A = this chain, B = another copy of it.
Amino acid sequence: MNKPHHRGKSQLTIFNGLSEDETRQLDKLSSLISLESHSYLFHQHSPANAVYMIEDGALMIERSAANGKRQILAFVHPGNFIGFTHNEYYEFSVQTLTAAKLTKIPRRQFIELSDVIPQLKHNVRQISSNVLAHTMDQVFALGQKKANERVCFLLHQLLQRKGEGSTENIDLVMTRQDIADYLGLTIETVSRTFAKLKKDGIIDIHFAHVIEILDMQQLRAFALAT
Residues of A within 8 A of B (CB): 63, 65-67, 69-71, 73, 85-87, 91-92, 125-126, 128-129, 131-133, 135-136, 138-140, 142-144, 181-184, 225-226
Contact (Cβ within 8 A) A135 B139 = yes
Copies of this subunit: 2
Interface centre among A73, A126, A132 (most CB of B within 10 A): A132
Contact partners of A67 in chain B: CB under 8 A: 225-226
> Which B residue sits closest to A128, measured CB to CB?
B128
Contact partners of A63 in chain B: CB under 8 A: 136, 140
Contact partners of A132 in chain B: CB under 8 A: 128, 131-132, 135
Contact (Cβ within 8 A) A129 B87 = yes
Residue among B87, B144, B184 making CB contact with A65, cutoff 8 Å: B144
Residue among B73, B86, B144 making CB contact with A71, cutoff 8 Å: B144
A91-B133, A135-B136 provided; 15 other pairs, C-beta below 8 A?
Answer: A63-B136, A65-B226, A67-B225, A71-B140, A71-B143, A86-B126, A86-B128, A87-B133, A91-B136, A92-B136, A128-B132, A135-B139, A139-B139, A139-B142, A143-B182
Take A226-B67, A226-B69 as given contacts and tell me if A86 and B140 are in contact as well, using a CB distance cutoff of 8 Å: no
> Which B residue sits closest to A150, measured CB to CB?
B143
> Which B residue sits closest to A143, measured CB to CB?
B184
Interface centre among A132, A136, A181, A183 (most CB of B within 10 A): A136
Contact (Cβ within 8 A) A139 B86 = no
Q: Enumerate the 10 nearest inter-chain pairs by beta-carbon distance, A residue then B residue, closest first.
A: A143-B184, A142-B142, A65-B226, A69-B226, A86-B125, A71-B140, A69-B144, A86-B129, A135-B135, A71-B143
